[in-house]
Amino acid sequence: MKLQEKIIYSFSVLGLTALVFLAGCKPQKPNTGILTFDQIKYKLPKYDSLEYFNISPDGSKFMALYKIKGQWFAQVNKSVTKNFQGTLVDSFSSKPKYFFNPDTSKVGIVYKKERSYILRTAYEINNQKIPDSDTLPQWFVQINQNIYGGFDGDHMPEIKFSPDGSVFGFVYKNHGAYYIRLNDEVLGPYQKADMTFTIESHITLAIVENGFAYLNEMEMIPLNK
């Protein structure tokens, strides 16, 4: 066999091998697909801006936070909370974290806000050094139209709701001490604190005080008026 014929034969064999190899690597058709078996549609109003949108952990609810003519609205499925305050200056310095209770009657937002210019100016006028605690942004908690804060910037509160939705709670830090808010009740100060709800809607507090760690289980009871 001549040299030219050998070269042509070699390229033919290599080409055939490459085709076989490529055919073997051809992606197979997927054997699964996506089937939408349930869909619920909710009407959103004509808003000026849609700022935040998220879904609840169990997938049953969404929350949309939007603005119409300078006012904030929070919508959870069909439920709309009007005139939602947002912040004192009606804007968020960073994306807030939001929560809602099981029946969506309470909407909670945790957000951070820079210290006011007035506070800084007051220190400068009096030639005082701004304390480190006053240079950090503050945390605010809002439950529907009620705003709590500002709290120390080095501890972010986390809103928790009882299983029946009647009680909310969160831990916050104020001037270096920890406090626990349960609806209108405030417990503290503590060295450290955390809280949760049991499936029976009881409240369990974990606190550090005077060198001891405590676990306290309690419940909210209505008071006679």
pLDDT tens for residues 158-207?
999 998 888 999 999 998 999 999 999 999 999 999 999 988 889 999 99
Instruction: Using pLDDT thresholds of 50, 70 and 90, give the confidence band for residue 129.
Output: low
Residue 202 CA to residue 102 CA, distance in Å, equals 16
| Residue recorded with tokens 């349930």 | 38
**Across all residues in the chain, what is the average pLDDT?**
77
Q: How confident is the model over 78-87, as pLDDT tens digits?
A: 888 776 655 4
- Phi and psi at 67, nearest 5°, equal -125, 135
Structural domain contains residue 56: no
| pLDDT class of 34 with cuts at 50, 70, 90 | confident
Is residue 204 domain-resident? Answer: yes
Asked, for residue 10, whether it belongs to a domain, the answer is no
Q: Does 33 reside within a domain?
A: no
State the total domains in the chain: 1
What angle is formed at CA 118 by the lines to CA 116 and CA 122, rounded to 5 degrees?
125
- Whether 5 has a pLDDT exceeding 60, the answer reads no
Tell me, yes or no, whether 68 lies in a domain: no
The whole-number average pLDDT for the span 53-68 is 80
Residue corresponding to tokens 């959103």:
44
Whether residue 84 contacts residue 72, with contact meaning beta carbons closer than 8 Å, is answered with yes
Please report whether residue 209 resides in a domain. Answer: yes
Query: What is the structure's pLDDT at 22?
Result: 45
Q: What is the CB neighbour count within 10 angstroms for residue 77?
A: 15
Domain housing 119: 88-218
Angle made by CA atoms 151, 162, 190, in degrees to the nearest 5? 40
Local confidence band at 28 (pLDDT 50, 70, 90 cut-offs):
confident
Residue 13 clears pLDDT 50, i.e. is over it: no
Instruction: Specify the pLDDT at position 57.
Output: 67
47: in domain: no
Distance CA 38, CA 78 (A): 17
- Is 149 within the bounds of a domain? yes
* Confidence grade of residue 223 (pLDDT, cut at 50, 70, 90): low
